[in-house]
Amino acid sequence: MNSLTFNAMQFHPIKLNDDQVWITSSELARALEYAREDSVSRIYDRKSDEFASDMTKVIDNPQTVNLTVRVFSLRGAHLIAMFARTPVAKEFRKWVLDVLEKEVQQQQIDTRVKINAEQQAALKEIVDRRCEDNATIRAELWSRHNKHFRIPRYNELLAIHFQDSVDYLETLKIKAKGEIHIDDNQSIETLCIHAKLFQAWWKTHSPTLGKLNPLLESMLHDNMFYMTTAIKDLCKKYDFKLPDYDYEHMFELNKLPHQRYLLLK
């Protein structure tokens, strides 16, 4: 992302080798229509305990030798705008959320990163465990998997589809004679798995979302409560058990994607 424009104010994003968009505090101050360029830095100094490490950092100033500059990620810029009291702050918050959404979509869709060796090993472990040394079942599992994800072989799977791949392989029904069967209940089971994963993500990150925007958090609070009962009832009705993931910790930021979906022993 080479440039961003808000109300005719053009940003010059800084690249830091982390696939995030970073904006200088001075440009952020101008976009929020502060008279002083240090206004954003002063907001940060007052509210620094509200910012996570991935929201802001101090880097060498690319324009001036021996000087540093504070930069903010898009999430950090949004939080600054939450504290800002200028007339354009509300409009800026909406704008930065739109930019953030587009950035995430671009990373997920345009970045064609395939699964790494550890993720490949995790998928192979699932197939080996489920086929129980039956070559026919093993071949059929991989065939259905690759057809489902429209890939020639499983190591061509995109990293963003790893979670779906794990769920797909874990929930394929195998009949007693070794035939693989996909029944009508599998869609319900998959839906319950993803609902449970969303709950796990929500439990981990809703406190941070609440700091950014309490209203957004409150909108989903009741839904999370009723979702728990719905998942439990559906699992009982259709007689299936959710994968035994470490739901409490799987979406912590220090977890790599391929580590999140390892089954508990």
Exposed/middle/buried for 67, CB within 10 Å: 0-12, 13-18, 19+?
A: exposed
Higher pLDDT, residue 174 or 142? 142
Q: Is the dihedral of CA 249, 250, 253, 255 positive or negative?
A: positive
Distance of alpha carbon 32 from alpha carbon 45, whole angstroms? 17
| pLDDT value, residue 223 | 82
Distance of alpha carbon 228 from alpha carbon 223, whole angstroms? 9
| pLDDT value, residue 263 | 65
Q: Model pTM?
A: 0.44
Model confidence at 41, pLDDT cuts 50, 70, 90, reads very high
Model confidence at 13, pLDDT cuts 50, 70, 90, reads confident
Of 218-222, 246-250, 256-260, least confident by mean pLDDT is 256-260
Higher pLDDT, residue 189 or 68? 68
Of 68-72, 136-140, 171-175, least confident by mean pLDDT is 171-175
| pLDDT value, residue 84 | 94
Of 78-92, 162-176, 188-202, least confident by mean pLDDT is 162-176
Q: Taking a C-beta distance cutoff of 8 angstroms, is the pair 68, 59 a contact?
A: yes
| pLDDT value, residue 184 | 59
Q: 């001075």: which residue's tokens?
A: 26
Rounded to 5°, the CA angle 122-123-127 comes to 120
Distance of alpha carbon 80 from alpha carbon 58, whole angstroms? 16
Q: Taking a C-beta distance cutoff of 8 angstroms, is the pair 52, 208 a contact?
A: yes
pLDDT beyond 80 at 192: yes
Spell out the domain ranges in the chain.
Answer: 4-109, 112-181, 183-265
Q: Say whether 10 sits in a helix, a strand or coil.
A: strand
What's the chain's average pLDDT? 84
Distance of alpha carbon 51 from alpha carbon 29, whole angstroms? 17
Distance of alpha carbon 155 from alpha carbon 165, whole angstroms? 11
| pLDDT value, residue 120 | 93
Distance from chain centroid for Cα 231? 22
Model confidence at 109, pLDDT cuts 50, 70, 90, reads low
Q: 């910790």: which residue's tokens?
A: 249
